Homo-oligomer: A and B are copies of this chain.
């Protein structure tokens, strides 16, 4: 592992705080304190707090997809991959103490006041749906299975399970989501 550069440290510290406390509840002063740098250094690397927000979302998206690839690397069947997707999101929730989806969180905070951000989130969720769609296409051919319909169902159920998991601080929603998906792909 190479040494973490200052810019990377800023993004890491800011990301943790944005995720755990919320974007608006995290001040520049707290970021520089926890990153142990001066404010002038921060503004040398990022021209505004909003630019830091964009770096945060780009990083989280990259880690999300890389994390899933790593999680599902040994699986060959489409069914196993879809169930692994449920497990992956469940695992993420467990390991973050049910802090929820980075992207839903930020949309809830900035809404339409920041079109660049809401656009990024929209595209991110489209990428997630495309990932599901690609796996569904690998399923063994069945009668009465519409690829796009099945994709949409799985996508909706996963988002629903995640939201409920975040509110209830447990993983029951994911267990039920797994049942639903199991019935669809069996």
Residues of B within 8 A of A104 (CB): 104, 108, 163, 167
A38 within 8 A of B: no
**Cα distance A108–B99 in the bound complex, in angstroms:** 9
A-B pairs, 6 with minimum CB distance = A160-B160, A108-B108, A156-B160, A24-B24, A159-B160, A105-B108
Residues of B within 8 A of A164 (CB): 125, 155-156, 159
Interface magnitude class on chain A: 35 or more
Say whether B153 contacts A176, CB under 8 Å.
yes
Say whether B168 contacts A156, CB under 8 Å.
no
8 Å CB contact of A22 from B111, B156, B163 = B111
Q: How far is the CB of A98 from chain B (nearest CB, A)?
A: 9
Residues of B within 8 A of A108 (CB): 22, 100, 104-109
A20 within 8 A of B: yes
Closest B residue to A180 by beta carbon equals: B153
Closest B residue to A22 by beta carbon equals: B109
Q: How far is the CB of A135 from chain B (nearest CB, A)?
A: 18
A185 within 8 A of B: no
Mask for A102-120, Cβ within 8 A of B = 1, else 0? 0111111111110000100
CB within 8 Å for A109 and B109 given contacts A125-B167, A168-B122: yes
